[in-house]
Chain A
Amino acid sequence: MVSAELFNKSVSDLIIQIGKKEDDNLTKAAEVMAKTIANGGVVHVFGTGHSVGLGIDMKNKIGSLIPIHIMRMNDFVLKGVVSLAEYTDKDNEFERRSGLAKDFIDLYTINPNDSFIIISNSGINGIVIDLALEARKRGHKVIVVTSMAHTAAEDSRHPSGKKLYQCADIVIDNCGPHGDALLPTDTVAKICSVSSICNNFIAQCLSVLTIDLLIEKYHLDPPVITGEIAHDEQIKNKYSECL
């Protein structure tokens, strides 16, 4: 059976499941983020495809942490690393490729205290695995958000054979199903995906837990957007080189 009511109820159950099952991992990830920010660093967020949503949901809202930087895949084109034709080639999906992480990281100002959040529902594609390996090689902490059910069921597309969760310091399972869609149908495909919704919940948990730690553990005024323009601009200017 497919219905909006069933979908909404299932999503609520998933949110409760993430909260209970991933409590420790969310807390550990927030500790990494708080330490990064307390030391003057920035948290770089990268997701491909629909996984871009987690980073977007952490930015530009009242209460959002300012030192969050979204790494955009289209920067490969904008900064001249690859051509638009190569980037949009349907027969060689860009996100599946490996060997690009060094070029990608080098597009940005990355400081030693920075950390990374890398999001991929499947966790099998070349570019995210490459980025996680390169970031850890350079000494950065890497938090991964993925669907363990999906990644366990598919083969890696990276030459190392590794999956994204195997290249992380902390792994957060978004608890979504294999294939992302939730409700069985009369066809071969399920309908109504959940990963974006689960990832938004994870994003808000990470933001709130990090702010808690910045105040309670590090005794800092958290660098968040308050809506007071002068205050917010002053903090943004502090990070202008990295954001």
Chain B
Amino acid sequence: MGRIEEISDTFISSIESAYSKQADNLHRISKLIFDVIADGGVIQLFGIGHGEEFVNELNFRAGGLAPFHGMRLSDLVTRGLIDQNEIDNGRINERTDILDLFTKIYKLDERDAYFLISFKGNEPLIIHLAKQLKNRGHLVIGVVNRKTYDRYANNEGLLQYCDQYIDLSLDEPDIVTQVNGYQITGITSTVADIFAQDINANLYNLYLENHIDPPILLSANLKDADKHNNALTDVYNGRVR
């Protein structure tokens, strides 16, 4: 078997295995967030490290749905509220004031629910954020890789303050292959992306079941997409873009 075939086999078997363990949970969580959206809420997304890929996958995405909003550390950097070096050297993960900073630049609403993504779930930043949001009464959903979480967070991490969670259901470490004794890892973020799209598929069906037109965004690189997308996002009055 060649290298590429080996990697594709690993990807496909990991996706199938993870989904078989989480399919019911993904349907249940999709229903919970649909109810939030139906009540006028937006689904806020925040991820640490590679968890940001899950954020990107649901926020203002071609073939995605309008009522998702990404909260990004890079937005705090470009607005001068934190320094890029803090992210690069990891000190950002120790901060406990991130919700205050996000509140300064985003329109967060009491009806909103939150996805918080950290594969390890042990960073003080995201633990404190989850605690604050839960104390304020928001629905908080964690996205972790449970085996990684159990290794690093030792039951004192993000999930303490989550109402629900998605387990990416992969091994720790998430090995793609080995080359001459070097472990090459990196499938967790791909499974996170797949689960994000699975949530989109589930939500689409929930919109139809509830006789609501699903607000599906188009790629911004299609003719006339800007007009279509602006019409879907403008109704949220700055809460999703």
* Residue of A whose beta carbon sits closest to that of B4: A19
| B-contacting residues, A208-227, CB 8 Å | 208-209, 211-212, 215, 222, 224, 226
The count of residues in chain A whose C-beta lies closer than 8 Å to any C-beta of chain B is: 72
Contact between B182 and A150, CB atoms less than 8 A apart: no
Contacts of A192 in B (CB 8 A): 63, 197, 200-201
Contact between B179 and A215, CB atoms less than 8 A apart: yes
| B-contacting residues, A1-32, CB 8 Å | 2-8, 11-12, 15-16, 18-19, 23, 26
B interface SS class = helix
Contacts of A125 in B (CB 8 A): 221
Contact between B53 and A53, CB atoms less than 8 A apart: yes
Contact between B7 and A208, CB atoms less than 8 A apart: yes
Contact between A7 and B63, CB atoms less than 8 A apart: no
Determine which of B12, B62, B184, B205 lies in contact with A207 in the assembled complex, contact meaning CB atoms within 8 Å: B184
How far apart are B190's CB and chain A's nearest CB, in angstroms? 4
How far apart are B132's CB and chain A's nearest CB, in angstroms? 26
| A-contacting residues, B20-64, CB 8 Å | 23, 26, 49-50, 52-53, 56-57, 61-64
Determine which of A11, A212, A226 lies in contact with B15 in the assembled complex, contact meaning CB atoms within 8 Å: A11
Determine which of A8, A16, A64, A189 lies in contact with B198 in the assembled complex, contact meaning CB atoms within 8 Å: A8
Complex CA gap A193/B199 in Å reads 12
B3-21 CB mask vs A (1 if < 8 Å, else 0) is 1110110011001100100
19 contacts between A and B (CB under 8 A): A4-B202, A15-B12, A16-B8, A23-B4, A61-B186, A178-B222, A179-B222, A181-B62, A187-B216, A189-B217, A191-B64, A192-B63, A193-B64, A197-B194, A204-B7, A208-B184, A211-B179, A211-B184, A222-B179
Q: Could you tell me which A residues sit within 8 Å of B by CB distance? A: 2-8, 11-12, 15-16, 18-19, 23, 26, 49-50, 52-53, 56-57, 60-64, 72, 74, 77-78, 84, 87, 90, 93, 121-122, 124-125, 150, 154, 178-183, 185-194, 196-197, 200-201, 203-205, 207-209, 211-212, 215, 222, 224, 226
